[in-house]
A and B are shown apart, each in its own frame.
Chain A
Amino acid sequence: MSQHVTHDKKFRRNFVRKGSLFVIVAAVTLEATSIIQFYFSRSGMTEEAGLRAESQLEATENRIMDVINQAETAIRNSVWIAQWSLDYPDSLMSVCRRIVEDNSVIMGSTVALVPGYLKKHPLFSPYVCEDADSLRFLSLATPEYDYPSHEWFKSALEAEHSDGTWSEPYIDEGGGEILMTTFSMPVKDYNGRIAAVITADISLDWLSELVGDIHLYPNAFSMVFSRSGQIMVSPINSSIEKMNIQDLEAIAYDSDTADIHRFSDAILSGATGNMVANVKGVRNMIYFDPVERTGWSLSIMIPEQEIFATLRRVEAIVKIFQILGLIMLILILRSFMRGQVKYKELNDKRERMEGELHIASQIQMTMIPKTFPPFPERHDLDIFAHLVPAKEVGGDLYDFLIRDEKLFFCIGDVSGKGVPAALVMSVTRSTFRSVSSHEDSPGKIVTVMNKALSDMNESSMFVTLFCGVLDLKNGHLRYSNAGHNPPYIFTDQIHPLPVDANLPLGIMTGVKFSEQEIPFHYDNAIFLYTDGITEAENAQHEQFGEERMIAVMDVRKGASEHVKALEDKVAEFVNGAPQSDDLTMLFIHFLGLGESAPLGNRLVMHNDINQIPRLEGWLEYLAGEFKFDEMLVPGLNLALEEAVSNVVMYAYPKGTYGYIDLSCSCEDGVLKFILSDSGTPFDPTKKPEVDISAGVEERSIGGLGIHLVRQIMSSVSYEYKDGYNILTMIKNI
C-alpha cells in the first residue's frame, strides 16, 4: 500500500509539472502574440500619426505660403512704380498707401531711400500703416527710429537678397504691440543702383490662429520658429515670445537636454523630419518641416501616450482577457488533473482487483487437472483436456477425478465473462469436487451443485454443466446435463449423446435434474466441449460450427491427438482473430471392459438383444475360473439369458440406452449371480408360476423365462435399491 501511495504522489507530481509547463507555454505564447500584435499596431499607429502630422504641416505651410506669396507679389508688382517714383519722392507715400489699401494681408508699407540718395533729404522713408479702420501716414526718417540701422533695411541691401527677404519676427513698437514680420526688397534706379528698399509688414496674428487650430491630439501642440530659432507661435503665447529655441533647455524642466539640443539643431538647420524627445517627463513625437522662403520652421509635438492611447486601451482589454484565459486554463487543468488522479486511482484499483482475481482464477486453474496423462498407472483410461482462456478472465471449467473405481467428470461454461464469471466458475468447480467426493449419482451431484449455486447467486449468473460418472468396473456411464452442449459419443459411429433438457445451474433452487445412462465399451469415447469452439469466429464473423468440428473428429485418434487436432483446426480457422470466449475440450477414451479386454467376474451389457450371445463365452470363462463342471454352462446360460432378455425387453423404454450388469462370485460351492439394471422397477419373482401341466389350449405363451430361471437356479431373489433392479441368483454346485 505505501508503495502505491508513493506511486500516486509521483504521478501527481509528474502531472503538476506537466500541467505547469503547459500553462507557462500557453502564457508565453499568448504574451508573444500580444507583443507582436502590439509592436505591429504601434508601428502602424506611429506611421499613421506621422502621416497625419506631415499632412497637417503641409497644409499649414500652404496656408502660410498663401499669405507670404500675396505679400511678396504685392511688393514685386509695386517695385516698378517705386522705381519710377524715385524721381518724385513725394509720390512715394501714395505708392505705399496703394500697397496697404490693396492688400488686406499687408498692414504697413514703406519705401525707404538709401541714405544720401536725395541730396535734400539724407533720410527719406514715407510709411503707411493700418490703424483700426483708418490709415496712418508717417515718416520713418526720424533720428529716434533711424531706419538704416534696422535689419529689414540692411538685409535687403545684401546682394543675395536682391529678390527680397523676410525679416525675423518682431514686436511692432509703434502700433498695437503686435508680432510682425517684414518683407523687404531693394528698388534699383534706372542706373541699376540700389536706391531704396520697399517693404510690406504683415501681422503674424493669423499665424498663431492658424497654428492654434491644429489639434491632431488633445495635448498635441504646434510651434513656429523663425530662421534664427526665435519662437513665433507657441501654445504659451506671451511668455515665450521673443524666446529663442536655444533658450528652451533652460525652461524645459524634467526634459532630456540632449533631446532638446537635437531638436534645436534640427530646427536651426531647416531640416525636415521627426524625432522622439523627452519633454517635461513625457515622451513626445516631434515632426518638423521648414517653410519655404521665410526660413521658418513648423513643428508639431505629440505626446506618445496620446498616439498610443487607443492601443493601450485595447492592450489593457487584451491583457485582461489573457489573464482570465490563463486563470481558466489553470482551473481546467486543475480539475482535469483531479479527474485524472481519481481516474488513475480507480483504474489502479480495478487493475489491482482484476489482477488479484486473475491470480485467484489462475490458482483455480492450477487445481483443475492439467497433467496428462492424469492417471499414468491406469490402462483403461486415456484422458486429455485443454482450456484456452480468452484474454479476459473467463468462466469455463472442466474437472475429473476417480473415486471408488468411478470416474467423475464435468465440463461447464459460466454465463458472462470477467471477474464475476471467474468467481462463479471457481465455486462451481469446488462444489463439484466436494459433492462428488461422497455422491455417486450425477443427477444428485448436479442437483446439489444447483442448490449451492442458486443460493449464492445474487448476480443471476448461470452455469451450463455436463456431469458424468463412468463406472470403470462395468463401463456404466451415468450422466446429467444441465443445459450444456451435448457431448459427442464415439462408438462405431460418432453421434451426439442424447441429453434431457434440464435448466442450467444457478437459475433456481429446488429443481431436480434428470439422470441418463449409456453403457460404455472398450474403445468408446466421449468428447465434451464448450461453445467457445463451435462459436469461435474468424475475422469475417463466421463461426467454426459443429460441422467443421465433426469433420475433424471423423478420424479416431487418441485423446491428446484429438484435442490438439481440433485446437489447431480452430486456430487455423480463426486465423488470428481475437478469441472472445474460453475454449475448452475434454476427451475421455475408455479402454477397459471390452470383448477384447480380459473377461472378469463381471459382464456388462447394454439393452440390446444381440448382447446375449456374450453370456456363453463368459460362463465358459467362469467355469474355468471357479472350476465348476462345464456341463452346467448350458443350463446357467439359459437361466441368465432368460433373466437378461427380460431386462432387455422390458426394463428400458424403447430407443433408449440402458445397461445390464452381471457379476458372479463363487464361495463354498455356491455360485452367486447378481444381475442389476437401472430400468423400470420390476420384480420378476412376483410373476405367477406357469402351469406346466396345462393342456395346449390353456398354456400361456409368456412366463416361461422366469420359470426356467427358477427351475435352473437354486434360489432367486429380487430387490430394488438405489435406483437399481437387483436380481440375485444362486446356484449350488
Chain B
Amino acid sequence: MEVFIEKENNQVTASLIGRLDTPASLEIAPQMDSLKEDAGGTIILDCSQLEYISSSGLRIFLALRKAAAEKGGKVIVRSISNEIRSVFMMTGFLNLFEIQ
C-alpha cells in the first residue's frame, strides 16, 4: 500500500495505490491524519489504483470527512472501482462523499 500526497493551493490530492486492508490502514494512518490540517479546503482521494478497502480504510475516509465538515472543507473520492463502490453502497458512504 502506498500513498502519494500532492498539495496545490487550496487542494490536496492523495493517491492511494494497492489494497487498503487492516494492516495497510494502520500503516498509512499517520499520513492520512496529517491531511486533516487541509480539511478546510478540498481533499481529493484518488482511488483509481485502489484495489480493495476494508472497514479500517473506510474509517480513515470517514475521519477526514468529519474533519472537513467541521472546517467547512470537502472530500472528493475519485475513480472508485465497482467493488469499492459496492462497499461504499453497503456502508452508506456513497451518501457521505462526493464521488467523481
Would B62 and A645 count as touching, CB distance under 8 A?
Answer: no
Q: Which residues in window 489-520 of A have CB below 8 A to B?
A: none
Over the window 50-93 of chain B, the binary record of Cβ atoms lying under 8 Å from chain A Cβ atoms (1 yes, 0 no) is: 00101110110011011001000000000000010011001110
- A612 contacts B by Cβ under 8 Å: yes
Cα(A612)–Cα(B25), bound, Å? 12
Q: How far is the CA of A673 from the CA of B44 in the complex (A)?
A: 37
Contact of B22 among A645, A696, A699 (CB under 8 A): A645
Q: Does A191 contact B (CB under 8 A)?
A: no
Q: Does A589 contact B (CB under 8 A)?
A: no
Does residue A638 face the partner (Cβ distance < 8 Å to B)?
Answer: yes
Most buried by B among A648, A692, A701, A704: A704
Given A634-B52, A699-B62, A704-B58, check contact A612 B23 (CB 8 Å): yes
Residue from B26, B83, B87 within 8 A of A708 (CB atoms):
B87
B62, A701: Cβ atoms closer than 8 Å: yes
CB-CB under 8 A from B38, the residues of chain A are none
Q: Are A641 and B90 in contact (CB under 8 A)?
A: no
Determine if A613 is an interface residue (Cβ-Cβ < 8 Å): yes
Restricting to A604-636, which residues have a CB under 8 Å from any CB of B? 609-610, 612-613, 634-635
A702 and B62 CA atoms in complex are apart in Å by: 10
- Chain A residues with Cβ below 8 Å from B56 are 645
Interface residue B29 (Cβ < 8 Å from any Cβ of A):
no
Judge whether A484 is part of the interface by a CB distance below 8 angstroms.
no
Contact B55 A692 (CB under 8 A): no
A612/B21 in contact, CB under 8 A: yes
Contact B21–A613 (Cβ < 8 Å): yes
Residues from chain A with a CB closer than 8 A to the CB of B5 are none
| Nearest chain B CB to A615 CB, angstrom units | 9
Residues of B within 8 A of A708 (CB): 54-55, 87, 90-91
* A641-B21, A641-B22, A697-B69 given; A692·B92 CB < 8 A: yes
Chain A 122-167 interface residues, beta-carbon cutoff 8 Å to B: none
CA distance A691 to B96 in the complex (A): 12
Given the known interface contacts A613-B23, A641-B21, A641-B22, the answer about A701 and B59 at a Cβ–Cβ threshold of 8 Å is: yes
B9 CB → nearest A CB, Å: 24
Taking CB atoms and an 8 Å cut-off, the chain A residues in 633-685 that contact chain B are 634-635, 637-638, 641-642, 645, 648
A692 to B87, CA, bound (A): 12
Counting CB contacts under 8 A, is A693 at the interface? yes
- Distance of B33 from chain A, by nearest CB (Å): 13
Asked if B34 CB lies within 8 Å of chain A CBs, one says no
- Give Cα A645–Cα B52 distance, bound, in whole angstroms: 16
**Contact of A699 with B96 in the complex, beta carbons under 8 Å:** yes
Chain B 13-26 per-residue mask, 1 if CB under 8 angstroms from chain A, else 0: 00000010111001
Whether B69 pairs with A638 at a CB distance below 8 angstroms is no
Smallest CB separation, B44 vs chain A (Å): 17
Given the known interface contacts A697-B66, A701-B63, the answer about A637 and B91 at a Cβ–Cβ threshold of 8 Å is: no
Q: Are A711 and B52 in contact (CB under 8 A)?
A: no
Residue of B nearest to A615 (CB): B21
Contacts of B66 in A (CB 8 A): 696-697, 699
> Is B95 at the interface (CB under 8 A from chain A)?
yes
Is A711 in contact with B90, judged by CB distance below 8 angstroms? Answer: yes
* Whole-angstrom CA separation of A693 from B21 in the bound complex: 24
Chain A min CB distance to B56 (Å): 7
A651 to chain B, nearest CB (A): 14
Taking the closest CB of chain A, its distance from the CB of B50, in whole angstroms, is: 12
Per the bound structure, the CA–CA distance linking A645 and B56 in Å amounts to 10
A648: chain B residues within 8 A (beta carbon) = 22
13 sampled A-B residue pairs with Cβ under 8 A: A609-B22, A609-B26, A612-B21, A613-B23, A692-B91, A692-B92, A696-B65, A697-B69, A701-B59, A704-B58, A707-B55, A708-B54, A711-B90
Residues of A within 8 A of B (CB): 609-610, 612-613, 634-635, 637-638, 641-642, 645, 648, 690-697, 699, 701-702, 704-705, 707-708, 711-712
Q: A707-B55, A708-B90 are in contact. List 7 more A-B contacts (CB 8 A).
A: A609-B22, A612-B22, A613-B23, A641-B22, A642-B54, A696-B96, A712-B90
Question: Which 4 pairs of residues, A with B, have the shortest CB-CB distance?
Answer: A692-B92, A704-B55, A711-B90, A705-B55
